[in-house]
Chains A and B, each alone.
Chain A
Amino acid sequence: MVMIKKFKGALISGILLGLLFAWDAGKGFEAINISGFALTEMLSIIPPIFILLGLLDVWISRETMIQLMGKESGARGILLAFFFGSATVGPLYGAFPVAAVFMKKGVKFSNIMIFIGAWSTTKIPMLLFEISSMGAPFAITRLLVNIPGIIIMAWILELMTPDSEIDKLYERMERM
């Protein structure tokens, strides 16, 4: 039963894939191709990310992390959150386990939200790629709108979340 619950999402997606096959077999094969490609991407990117994650968890103390990105970290905390989010590679789902470790180490909630925002949008390797395919005006404009946008959204998210819920989230991360 536990297995079924764990793989519920995969099961539902599998059924959808079956339906797509029934509707149009060509599209079904296309879907398998794309999934296979995405799976290869995941398998190549995820091992180093999780190794770095484990090392971070073991070697960097909670005290250091609180000092760098905790409640009193101010502008430095924001900058570091942007840096950690932007320097990485990999899809957004890679950011959640990293955020969980950050929260275990006492990183401030708004900095967690900035980190997630930066991971989703302002990645440095991606920016270079964006400039080359979309042109500098497009890429730079987006970046200039995104940086304040991410900070403001992080603040709003923090304001909109009651302290009790934030505390609960931090407790939940202990078990992740």
Chain B
Amino acid sequence: MRIIYLYGVSALLLVLSFHKSREKTQKALKKAWKSFSKIFPALLGILILVGVLLAVFDADFISRIIGDESGWIGVALSAVVGAITLIPGFIAFPTASVLIDNGAGYMQIGAFISSLMMVGMVTAPMEAEYFGKRLTLIRNLMGFVFSFIVAYVIGKVVGGLWL
């Protein structure tokens, strides 16, 4: 659905652009290809690594370490797993909801989802090519710490104390 909309918008703009100026459109496509071929090798490595990591850290593994009673240790572990793995949201959310049904805590899932999205160890080398090592490190570390804050608030609000 979202992909169709994305294709629709780019096709429309591409046609408009072509209508206005043929040369500029060719230039745009050349630029698009150049940026793509620049990141493709790194992406290929990432995709293979994602497969390996997800095969090792499967739902079984995750649910074992983040039960409701696991407390802050469970939060820390889920944040670490979230930082290492790279799972698209449309797989992560249903998985998370299954994990909760199987006894995972909201706090731990909050940490997992949050660090999954903000922290990317697998994509860090690619991020560093754009933003440098130092900034990449700080951004990811901050995202990691922030996922504990998210976990805390989610634990309070959704975990049952306030609602």
Contacts and interface: CB of A to CB of B under 8 A. Distances in A.
A89 B41 contact: no
Contacts, number: 227
B135 A7 contact: no
Contacts of B36: 46, 50
A32 B51 contact: yes
Contacts of B6: 45, 48-49, 89
Interface residues of A, number: 80
A29 to B, nearest CB: 9
Interface size class of B (residues with CB under 8 A): 35 or more
Nearest to A146: B150
B64 interface: no
Given A35-B47, A125-B2, A176-B38, A20 B118 contact: no
Interface in A102-116: 113, 116
A9 B9 contact: no
A20 B7 contact: no
A34 B142 contact: no
Main secondary structure, interface of A, reads helix
B89 A123 contact: yes
A44 B2 CA distance: 11
Contact of A165 (B56, B109, B126, B134): B134
Given A138-B154, A141-B158, A157 B139 contact: yes
B43 A93 contact: yes
Interface of B: 2-3, 6-7, 9-11, 13-14, 17, 24-25, 27-33, 35-36, 38-39, 41-52, 54-56, 58, 86, 88-90, 93-94, 96-97, 100, 106, 109-110, 113-114, 117-118, 120, 123, 125-127, 129-132, 134-135, 138-139, 142-143, 146, 149-150, 153-154, 157-158, 163
